[in-house]
Structure 1
Amino acid sequence: MAPPLANDKWLAGRHFGIVIDAGSSGSRLQIYSWPDPKNEKYNKLADRPPRVEKGTKDDESWVYKVEPGISTLGSDPSAAGAYLKPLVQHAMDRIPPSLHSSTPIFLLATAGMRLLTPEDQAAVLSHSCQFLRSYTRFKIDAPSETLGPCGSSVRIITGEEEGLFGWIAVNYLMDGFTRNKGKGKEKADDESRYPRTTYGFLDMGGASTQIAFEPNVAEDDVKGNGLVDVRLRLLSGEDIHRKVFVTTWLGYGTNQARERYVGQTIQDFQASRTHDLSTTDAGIIPDPCLPRGLELTETPAQSSTAGPHATTSHKLVGTGSFEECVRKSAPLLNKDKPCLDAPCLMDGIHVPPIDFSASHFIGVSEYWYSSEHIFGLGGAYDFSQYERAAVEFCGRDWEGIVKQHEDSSKRNRLGGDGEVVKDGKVVELGVWGPQVEIPRLQMQCFKAAWILNVLHEGIGMPRITDPAEKKLSTGDQVVEQAGKKGLGKPPIFQSLDSVDDVAISWTLGKMVLEASKEVTPLLKGAKPLAPVPSWLLEVRARKTGCHWGPSGRG
């Protein structure tokens, strides 16, 4: 495919950026673009950050993915070039050659690469860097003794960074960074011009879960050195600062939580049967977190205490009790773990107090999948609806679920339709689309229970059961912006995968930061400070009070 022509009006003054999201299962290249900030400085968008968009005119070719994950090159790092070539070639074919040298490219690896040894990590990153430098003319950072041969352009990011980039993406899409046009004293250069209208961000993956949010003012004053100072520049040249708390829980994603659950379930079952291990059904364990009648043979990958059955396969048979599943999986939150830096949430991790009367959260990834793909309840979260759908699904017979899946596949319906209600009663649990596979159906009961436990027991979100009771106060601007996005009055929590047909992705947050750097500061003659490398976002760096963003280090 040929790049856009030079006389293409869409291309005029357009800047590009590339992010390769090198995840554990595959690598996804995403091309972003934005109009030249200088051309937009005096238009109606001057009071918001640069307008970051898809990097191609069509809806498909801005993304390109290869499998498996780049971490599989740990045993053969020299294969990095062959692995990356189709990805970067895709970008080279779609971005005009004259703009390659000014287009930054980032290869940012996540969970899979974090599991490799330091030596294998360095080898894969080094060969990847060498290939990008030799095969492309894209903009790449200079070598750094700390970050490696490609600086911050090719590296492994932390879970905290994923959370912060996601927070930026959500609030960018929800117009949370748009400046308030104040009058009189509000025109003073202070935070009164930038009201707190931001959304908290929750991300649930298979291995870990993240939270990022803007605590209240009092918490900023008390523990400001535990926050990240995010700096963005509006098209007008003015800077906005947001103090954001972000942390991650490794092992608290749905897949690893399930592994811990299986290990604990087997251990508890065997401990209860120590008086009689000779019975023929010693390896059969009832599991409330599986639909009724589903049988799975599982070997615990994780176990809190080594024992004779820690690595033995056992047959788990579903009993389909969602309430019991919620109860049995709740201890996995480790809420009894000592808190060394109060206040703490699950696993003894410090998190500032969350004022749910003013804070509203958006959840992505598993929060969306577990709500929408089976239940059809993505979007505004209602505890009663979600619990009822989970109880109904979990209590169903597995053979009936499989039959419905086969029927849905034959009809090739797109997307889950959720509950079908007639005369106030649920008459069908919906029709599942092709994205719903058998493994999802097997684990849906556990994942739904885990989501409930994390939201309400882990994070402390209140269970609002009646929409008429949703009388919590909220800022007028939050209401207004949510209404513009078709979301109505913002609930405490909603699961989303996109806003205005733009996918919510941490890669978008990274590009918003990059585009923000290109805006000329409002103060004439001012020289922007050197950008702070985001490796400072490691957990230990958050405690130092480092400032991170396009304006540099404070």
Structure 2
Amino acid sequence: MIFARKPNLQKQPRHYPTWICSMPNGTSSGRRRAAGIFTTILAIFTLIFVWEISRPGPDKYVTVIDSGSTGTRVYVYKWGMRGRSMPSLLALEPTMKEVLAHRKAAGFQRGAYRRIETEPGLDRAAGDLSAVRASLQPLLEWAKKTVPAQRHSSSPVFLFGTAGLRKLPEDDRLKLLNDINQVLESSPFSFRPEYVKVIDGADEGVYGWVGLNYIEGRLKASLGAAPSPLRHPVADAEKAAPYEQETVGALDLGGSSLEVTFIPSRWPRKRKVPVSVLRTPYSLYTHSFKGYGMNDAFDKAVTILLEAMLADRQQQQDTAAAAAAGRTAVPSGVPTLEHPCLQEGYSERFRRKDPAWHMQGSAPTKPTSEPLPSESIEEVLLVGRPRWSECRDLAEKVVDAGALCRRPPCALGAEAPPMHGRFLAMSGFFVVYDFFGLPLTATLAELEDAGRRYCGRPWQELSRDLADIKNIETYCFRAPYVSILLSDGLGLQQSQLSVVKGGFSWTLGAALTEGDTLAGLGSVEDDSLTQALSGAPGWMARSGARLTLAAALLLAWVAAICALLQQSGNPFCRGCCLGPLGDPMAAGAAAAKRQPLKGQPAEPPEMVSPWLLRGPGPELCIPVAPQPSRPLAPPPSQRSHSLHSEMSGMRAERGRRRRDRSSDCLAQLTDWSE
């Protein structure tokens, strides 16, 4: 039998709820069935609640079009939100069958990347809407097939122009951007004019840095804050944490430029670039070394050879016309130029991109004084004369690691902080490694050895075996150029370098950053459960509704477990009950009803009074562990027959009273749960 201690009315508050009831050790099958049904319903509701709060939001998609100097490529990423944590971005690559079909239809040669692209670059289509449409339509068609149809209208499409569009005159660039807007507006994707822009080299470098550190798992997200643009005010840089020990540097080698981005350990804050990535501030060093891309570097090598050839001719034949004009004699027709980085048997015309520009340090600048003699020559005939030592010397001249710098420390003629830590090389670096069949862990010395062997092969053999690969004539030069660029130009050690496998592009960082900033994909939205429970906006509604449900489920589960324990006769929960707010006198009345029968000594208490959870609604009584009790009376077998009969009658009376109280308690428990 369970006794309720009479409350101390002087110490307890006036309205302290103390109604206590108990259930019998055994219940009828109907009550057990009711308790089982209640517990089953509660378990189902709990599973639904857990599934609702744990399931991710609907997947979203981001399409990014990279308009480069040599072509235009499309990338599609699947964006999955996981609450406030870092979103999950998955690159959706085309199948090899799709790539081969596209290349066959477009007449492309085999490349290192598995992607859908069109050639030439959009800069060649300035002012021609039909050409812009023809370049973008195949990319959009593949994106339409990749993104589920029901997600088209909610999936943003971005287009970012890089070096090719940066070189266009302002008027031509504006016309081209207007044509691009017309084409993208007619697509089924979500589009706004600000989704199309020409980014500078610094932005391209930052996007690459973001993408690399994302796949390395080194970024931090603060999605609870308001979104901010990629470049935030310099004042916000004070909040940026020094993550240089946690992040990696990015080296992005393109066709026209080289982007270098990392967090420097020692660098004046005013010369850092403050950026915001997923609402988290960083302070970076980023620089675009123009003219150091693979294609521009080869063009620069041709310019160096041409200038040397014209200088030799000046010494050999100083004609009267040349002396009168004060200029070097320029040969008539197409001059022939022997190239030490081209295979024996190679003889092809080469059209220089822009002879009026020549490279000085890290930026292309027009000469302010007398123009170079080679500026008037737009086309040359390149003849292969492979000599490895001269080829390597030519690559060193192109890199020009010793170029003058106004304010050291420097890299490639530009001011730069010391490059400490680990760096990941991507894009063009991977293309070169992949072409020679080298593992991504190969050293720079192994790269040069592969280049030396390649340069010694006859052109007829290469043109036959590698006919489906683009620009195979340039890889004899690219091998020493990449090695010297990394070791001498940037001053990196072999232990600091790692090459990123193919398929990665700076567009991943652009999708992650601009998908959050411009398209708002990183915003935490209300789910259906929250909207049904509360009209408050944002995360406050979701958090409040879920906390309320969690608390209600917890109370219900405690009640259900307590009821099941009581049914099983577990003494630990014999005093557990649910009841309404009661009067302080109720406990006294309950205790009075539990007085022992006349002539029978009081039974020792089996449990101290339980503690109560107070609240504006029903009260839940949760028991504490049983307390030690006094030794029980001798068993009935040792008593007289009359005493045994009397005790049996008393037990029957107590059982009847307990059943009456438990019926009332179970009824109130059912009412509260409903």
Distance 1:29 1:387, change over 3 A: closer
What is the letter of the counterpart of residue 441 of structure 2? A
Aligned match of 2:447 in 369, 382, 386?
Answer: 386
Residue 172 of structure 1 and its aligned partner are, at CA, apart by 1.3
Aligned match of 2:390 in 324, 342, 347?
Answer: 324
Distance 1:67 1:319, change over 3 A: closer
Aligned match of 2:496 in 484, 492, 497?
Answer: 492
1:509 paired with 2:509, answer yes
Q: Which residue of 2 aligns with 1:242?
A: 282
In structure 1, what is the Cα distance between the partners aligned to 2:480 and 2:445?
13
Q: Decide whether the 8 Å contact of 1:16 with 1:31 is kept in 2.
A: yes
1:232 paired with 2:267, answer no
Secondary structure (helix, strand or coil) at the match of 1:241 reads strand
What is the letter of the counterpart of residue 232 of structure 1? V
1:163 paired with 2:163, answer no
Q: Which residue of 2 aligns with 1:540?
A: none
1:30 paired with 2:82, answer no
In structure 1, what is the Cα distance between the partners aligned to 2:453 and 2:93?
43
Alignment of 1:149-228 (within 5 A): 150-151=193-194, 153-177=195-219, 191=241, 196-216=245-265, 218-219=266-267, 223-228=268-273
Q: Decide whether the 8 Å contact of 1:201 with 1:362 is kept in 2.
A: yes
Distance 1:284 1:115, change over 3 A: closer
In structure 2, what is the Cα distance between the partners aligned to 1:276 and 1:328?
23
TM-score (norm: length of structure 2):
0.54
What is the letter of the counterpart of residue 447 of structure 1? R
Q: Which residue of 1 aligns with 2:339?
A: 287
Q: Decide whether the 8 Å contact of 1:257 with 1:332 is kept in 2.
A: yes
Residue 82 of structure 1 and its aligned partner are, at CA, apart by 5.5
Deviations 1:263-319 (A, max 9, x none): 2212212323434349xxx96554322234534454655375522795186554434
Residue 37 of structure 1 and its aligned partner are, at CA, apart by 3.3
Aligned match of 1:353 in 418, 423, 431?
Answer: 418
Secondary structure (helix, strand or coil) at the match of 1:252 reads coil
Q: Which residue of 1 aligns with 2:89?
A: 52
1:262 paired with 2:302, answer yes
Q: Decide whether the 8 Å contact of 1:291 with 1:397 is kept in 2.
A: yes
Deviations 1:308-345 (A, max 9, x none): 79518655443423232222332333445442343221
What is the letter of the counterpart of residue 167 of structure 2? L
Distance 1:274 1:445, change over 3 A: same
Give the alignment's Cα RMSD to 1 decimal. 3.6
Q: Decide whether the 8 Å contact of 1:381 with 1:494 is kept in 2.
A: no
- When Rg is computed on C-alpha atoms for both structures, the one with the higher figure is 2
Q: Decide whether the 8 Å contact of 1:208 with 1:248 is kept in 2.
A: yes
Residue 211 of structure 1 and its aligned partner are, at CA, apart by 1.0
Residue 262 of structure 1 and its aligned partner are, at CA, apart by 1.4
Q: Decide whether the 8 Å contact of 1:37 with 1:519 is kept in 2.
A: no
1:70 paired with 2:122, answer yes
Secondary structure (helix, strand or coil) at the match of 1:20 reads strand
Q: Which residue of 2 aligns with 1:471?
A: none
Distance 1:231 1:444, change over 3 A: same
Q: Decide whether the 8 Å contact of 1:212 with 1:246 is kept in 2.
A: yes
What is the letter of the counterpart of residue 111 of structure 1? A
Secondary structure (helix, strand or coil) at the match of 1:504 reads coil
Q: Decide whether the 8 Å contact of 1:286 with 1:318 is kept in 2.
A: yes
Q: Which has the higher helix share?
A: 2
Q: Decide whether the 8 Å contact of 1:204 with 1:364 is kept in 2.
A: yes
Q: What percent of counterpart residues are identical?
A: 25
In structure 2, what is the Cα distance between the partners aligned to 1:297 and 1:492?
39
Secondary structure (helix, strand or coil) at the match of 2:274 reads strand
In structure 2, what is the Cα distance between the partners aligned to 1:137 and 1:293?
51
Q: Which residue of 1 aligns with 2:474?
A: 443
Secondary structure (helix, strand or coil) at the match of 1:52 reads strand
Distance 1:403 1:118, change over 3 A: same
Distance 1:512 1:436, change over 3 A: same
In structure 1, what is the Cα distance between the partners aligned to 2:60 and 2:282?
26
Q: Decide whether the 8 Å contact of 2:220 with 2:280 is kept in 1.
A: no
Q: Which residue of 2 aligns with 1:95?
A: 147
Q: Where in structure 2 are there 5+ consecutive unaligned residues?
A: 1-54, 100-114, 222-238, 319-330, 359-370, 525-537, 542-674
TM-score (norm: length of structure 1):
0.65
Deviations 1:226-267 (A, max 9, x none): 22333334xxxxx54332211112211122222222122122
In structure 1, what is the Cα distance between the partners aligned to 2:218 and 2:157?
26
Distance 1:86 1:247, change over 3 A: same
Distance 1:309 1:99, change over 3 A: closer
Residue 496 of structure 1 and its aligned partner are, at CA, apart by 2.6
In structure 2, what is the Cα distance between the partners aligned to 1:494 and 1:226?
27
Secondary structure (helix, strand or coil) at the match of 1:379 reads coil
Alignment of 1:139-158 (within 5 A): 139-141=190-192, 150-151=193-194, 153-158=195-200
